[in-house]
Structures are given as C-alpha cells and as structure tokens.
Structure 1
Amino acid sequence: MSNKRQLDDAGLDKLLAEAGIDPATGVTAYEELSEGTFNTVYRILRPAGDLMLKLSPDPAAPVLSYEQGLIQTETEFYRAARGKVPVPEVVHAGDDFLLMTALPGTTWFSATEPLDRPRLRRDLGGLVAELHKITNGGFGYPQKGLVDSWDKAFLAMIDDILRDASHFDVELPCRAEQIRAKVLARREKLLGVQTASLIHFDLWDGNILVEDGRITGLIDGERAFWGDPTAEFVSLTLFSELDDDLLEGYGAPVDRELLALYRVYLYLIMVIEATPRGYDGPENEQRSRRVRRHLLRELDALS
C-alpha cells in the first residue's frame, strides 16, 4: 500500500500552467523520483533550470495527525530559511503541491564521491546553527497552529502521536500514560526554552545534498516546526551518538536529557507511521525491531 499519488503528463502540465509556466515551451521532460514514501516528487527538466514538484498524498489516505498540511509547512520552512542556509526557492505553492527550484548535488546518503565526513559534519553543524538563528513568536507545528510556550507545544505533539497510536491500534512498549508522565516530569526544562527556533527535524543524510565535497542543500523541510534547537539533533544523530565534529561546527552544547525526550518522540512517530503507510515484509520487521529497541533505550534513560 502507498499513500503516494501520481499525475500523468496532462495533470503535470496543468499544475505548471497554474504556476505561470508554459509546459509546451519550457519543459523537456518529467521524471518521477523513486525516493520517499509519503509525497510524490517529480523533477521537471527545463533548459532554463530544472524544477522540483512535490505532491501531497491522496487526501483519502490515512496519515498521522501532524502530517496534515505538510506542503504548507514545507513552503513556510523554505521561505523562512532562504538566504540563511541552502534551500530551494519556492516558485509556486498550492494547497496540495509545491513547485521549487532544483538544487545541485545528490543526497549524502546516496553519494558515490569520496567525502571528508568530519569536515562535512562540522560544516553541517555550522549550517544548523544558522538555521536556528531564525526565530518566531510562537511554538509548534505551523499546520497545527502555534502556541505561546514550548512546553504546551511539545506536550500537544506527544498527545497527538499517542492518540495516533490508539487510533491505528499500534502496541507501544509502555502505556501512553507513562510516556506522557515522562514529558510532564520535565516541564520545567521545557519551559526553559524561551525562543522558538526553526527546526527542520528530518536532517538525516537522505535530506542533505552534497556536490564537489561540500553541502549544497537542505531539503524536505515538511516536518519542520518552531521549537527547541536541541530537537534538531535527533535526526542529525539518528540511531547514533552525538559526534564531536557536529558539535564543534554547531558551537553550543546539547542538553542530553531533553535530547532523549525528543528521541522518544521521533521513535514513536517511526513506530506508529508504519501502520497507516502499510509497511510490511522482512525489511520492515527488521526496521521495526531497531526503532523499538532505540525507543526503549531512550525511555529507560528518562526513568
């Protein structure tokens, strides 16, 4: 099962025309990209410069609570970050699609060129530090509505994902009340976050572009929110520990207790999203065991 939806050439032509681009004279070809399991992405080949088109899932497809309206959030992320860090330029945005410029490079995850990983991790830390200088007066997911404090925003995020677990009948390693209690026990720490920074929250190697030994883009900003910079380090160190190179480039310490709390949140998402997305087979079983193992480790760290 897949939530992704496809358009034929006529449908793609229509969207381009809506964006003010004549497909008859400005487009060489459409190429659907195979990466990703949520949105559908097309590369639009043009002599004037390639574009990327992202389509949101079928409206009838089951999604998690926070996954509604992600196209609007990705649009906000790029517009806020443009000029501060390398992100695509928004060409046109609709209710269920986003047209943007294509950036040079391939994903770090798929790169075949030799890479100086320590230097790139330092560079990445510096880019993240610049990203976090972008701030807002409210906290939370843009598509859900912002609130006036980070503790309220994060507790709402936890409540939503725990309701999703119940809705999709996903068994968790401990009761929802216990997980929620671990958040409430750290409310004072959450209240200490006074500034809402722009958080990408999905900066694994598959969403970082590289070319000629440098970082050329941060992409897929649809899961962004305004909140605690510490939360960024969850995806930056997915299934691994904080590394000195990243921290050196970032130039600030990371609260390990809050990091464990935010890791719990992401691992909950990863456990629960497998059901509405219809993941199955041996590969998913292996992935599920790995995520649950890390989820239990972080829950234990918060005991």
Structure 2
Amino acid sequence: MTAAATVTPFLEAAGIPAAELAGCEPLTGGTYNTLLRVRLRAGTRLVLKLPPPREVPALAYERDLLRGEVMFYRAAAGVGVPVPEVVAAGDGFVLMTECAGTGWHQAPPPAADRDRLRRALGELAGRLHTVTGPRFGYPSGAIPAADGWRGTFLAMLSALLDDAERYAVRLPVPAERIRALASAAAPALDEVTVPVLVHFDLWDGNVLIDGGEISALIDGERMMWGDPLAELTSLNLLGGPEDDAALLAGYAVGGGRTAFDEAAHLRMALYRCYLYLIMLIEAAPRGYGADRHAMLDARVKPALRAALDRLAP
C-alpha cells in the first residue's frame, strides 16, 4: 500500500477530502510507531501517527499508547504548553499538526542559550503538573491501576519485570532483588495523593527548538497520571535534578516544588529504576543493534545499579 493510500482514510475521518492531499512521506527517528508527514494543497502540514500491528512484540505498558498521547496534547494545550494540535483521533491513529522546529539533540542551542532554555523547559514542566487526572497510571489501562500511587507504580514495575522475563532479558541485577528493594522503599510513594500530568519522555529529542525558543513538546504517548517527580527523571535522564539549577529555577516559576526530602529522593530513585529498566528491556522487542547495546551497557546499566543502591537500606 502506498503512503497516500494509507493516509487517505484518516484524512477523510478528519473531514479532509482526499483531493486535498498534496503529498506525504515517512518520518524517521521513532522506534515504535509509524509517522507520516502529510502535506495539503493549502500548505498545511500534518503528522499521522499509527501504532504497530498488535502482533509486533511490545512491552505490556505500550498497548494503546496513542490514547494517552491525545489526552496529553489536549491537557497540555489547556495550560499554555506548546504541543501539536490534535486534528482527529480514533481507534489506532492520531492526526495532528506538525510543529515547527528541530529536536534539541539534533541542533543543540549555543552554550550561551542553554540555561535560558532549560529554565523555559522547567517552567513548561511546572505548568504540566498543574493538570490533575482522574486516577493514577496509564490512560490505556494496559497496566490495571490500583487505588493509590503506591499500588499503581508497583504494578507498573512488576509488569516491566515480567516483560524482562518474557523476552529473556538479562538484567544487571536480578529481578527479585529489584522487586524487594522497590517494595522496601514503597512507603515513600504514599506521599503522592494527587495524580498529575506527567510526560515521562522529555529527553532532548522530544523538545523542539525554533528561532532560539522552545516551539513544542512532542511524543506525549508515554504519558501517565502520577508523581511530578517522575518528570524530573526524564528531564535529566542520567543525572539528578540537583545537577540542573536552571531547570529547577524554571520549574519553581511554573509552580513545581523543588525542595527534596528523603522520601522525594527515594521516589526519584524508584522512577529512575523504572525508566532505566524500560530502556534496557525494550531493546529486546525492538531488536536494537550493537551500538545501542554498547551504550546501554556503558551508561544505563551503571545508572540502574546506582539508583538501586540509593534504595538499599
């Protein structure tokens, strides 16, 4: 099937006649969903995102991710965070506007602009966390939510460790040791009583820069309703929030809390473990090559061990 034939039914679902299609082409860079750039005769540029077929190997939490992406964009736009506009969405697709800009990682801004932009990013994250949700966890329900954040998060972690067993992933620390450390630290999760909007994938590639400013936060598909401290994990992937004073200054301006007590540090260590485990375990169903595995061995496995050491009593 040609790209145009793939796109046409989704345009029609959005009320856009097929005759308006001027062209389309695949977008690269993603590792899970399919992305197509759609050009209309009026000059409008859209992006169509489609999930892989259900028979494609995936982690448990990755089912029906696009439901969360739509929810994220609509909620974020409501608090003034620049995101793609959802043009149409349905069972297994999202059609959205294409945002101007280039990923921060592709064209890093000049060093003189870094702190200013990190402050701006922190402020946007703070705004996201003013949005509260109906319940903790992933909107898809792929991981059944519990009554509180502790039960929900532990269920998410358990499902991920089950994925490691299912895909025969050798972890640097045995799964039972990870479960035990997480269980011991879990009382710190009880301090989280309000589910807030968390993007949870705010690495530099999902922050677009245009004209020296942040033009959009994209790829909100891995969002969850959870602890705002989880966001700080993805914002400073292999470090800690204390390592980025500019980010924290902006986060405070946006309404975020930047005083971290012992319980907060334990929670952030739990979220780092979860994120690093995702990075390690997804390599199996994705079929990553040798270069990616070398990076995981050199950087992510030591980071996971350090996060687990922080949990150890």
**8 Å Cα contact 1:88/1:217 also seen in 2:** yes
Residue 122 of structure 2 is aligned to residue 125 of structure 1: yes
Structure 1 letter corresponding to 2:33:
N
2:68 equivalent to 1:73 = yes
Aligned residues: 297
Residue aligned with 2:105, SS: helix
Q: Secondary structure at the match of 1:186?
A: helix
Distance 2:145 2:134 in 1: 9
For structure 1, list consecutive stretches of 5 or more residues without a partner in the other structure.
1-5
Structure 1 residue 184 and structure 2 residue 183: aligned?
A: yes
Q: Match for residue 77 of structure 2?
A: 82
Letter in 1 for 2:36: Y
Correspondences of 1:51-66 after superposition (within 5 Å) = 51-66=46-61
Cα displacement string for residues 38-61 of structure 1 (whole angstroms, at most 9, x for unaligned residues) = 111111122252111101012210
User: In structure 2, what residue type is equivalent to 1:282?
Assistant: D
The letter for the 2-side match of 1:250 is Y
Please state if 1:275 is matched with 2:284. yes
The verdict on how the C-alpha distance between 1:42 and 1:180 changes in structure 2, with shifts beyond 3 A counting, is: same
Q: Give per-residue Cα distances to partners, 1:8-66, cap 9 Å, x unaligned.
A: 32121222122211131x22211211111111111112225211110101221000000
Counterpart residue type for residue 248 of structure 2: L
Find the counterpart in structure 2 of residue 291 from structure 1. Answer: 300
Q: 1:12 to 1:195 in 2, by over 3 A?
A: same
Match of 1:137 in 2: 134
8 Å Cα contact 1:55/1:98 also seen in 2:
yes
C-alpha displacement of 1:211:
0.9
The one-letter code matched in structure 2 to 1:96 is: G
Q: Secondary structure at the match of 1:209?
A: strand
Q: Is the 8 A contact 2:206 2:217 kept in 1?
A: yes
- In 2, distance between residues paired with 1:147 and 1:7? 43
Which residue of structure 2 lines up, in the alignment, with residue 3 of structure 1? Answer: none
- Higher mean displacement: 238-247 or 103-112: 103-112
Which moved further from structure 2: 225-234 or 253-262?
253-262
- Kindly provide the amino acid, as one letter, of the partner of residue 290 in structure 2: G
Partner residue of 2:38? 44
- The CA distance in 1 between the partners of 2:237 and 2:68, in whole Å, is 22
Identity %: 47
1: CA distance between counterparts of 2:176 and 2:291?
31
Cα distance in 1 for residues equivalent to 2:219 and 2:281: 20
Q: Which moved more, 1:140-149 or 1:65-74?
A: 140-149
Taking a change above 3 Å as real, the CA distance of residues 197 and 169 of structure 1, as seen in their structure-2 partners, is same
CA distance in 2, matches of 1:198, 1:206: 20
Q: Deviations over 1:246-270 (max 9, x none)?
A: 0111112243221111000000111
Partner AA of 1:97 in structure 2: F
C-alpha distance 39-129 of structure 1, shift in aligned 2 (>3 A):
same
SS at match of 1:62: coil
Query: If the length of structure 1 is used for normalisation, what is the TM-score?
Result: 0.93
Give the SS at the match of 2:200: coil
Is the partner of 1:41 in helix, strand or coil?
strand
- Residue 98 of structure 1 corresponds to which residue in structure 2? 94
State the shift of 1:112 in Å.
5.9
Q: Take 1:101 and 1:49, find their aligned partners in 2: how far apart are those partners?
A: 8
Runs of 4+ residues over 6 Å off in structure 1: none
Quick one: distance in 2 between partners of 1:9 and 1:101? 17
Match of 2:249 in 1: 248
Structure-to-structure mapping, 1:174-253, within 5 angstroms: 174-242=173-241, 243-251=244-252, 252-253=257-258
The CA distance in 2 between the partners of 1:216 and 1:147, in whole Å, is 36
Root-mean-square deviation (Å): 1.6
Are the aligned partners of 1:137 and 1:195 in contact in 2 as well (CA < 8 Å)? no
TM-score, length-scaled by structure 2: 0.90
Residue 196 of structure 2 contacts residue 228 of structure 2 at CA under 8 Å; is this kept in 1?
A: yes
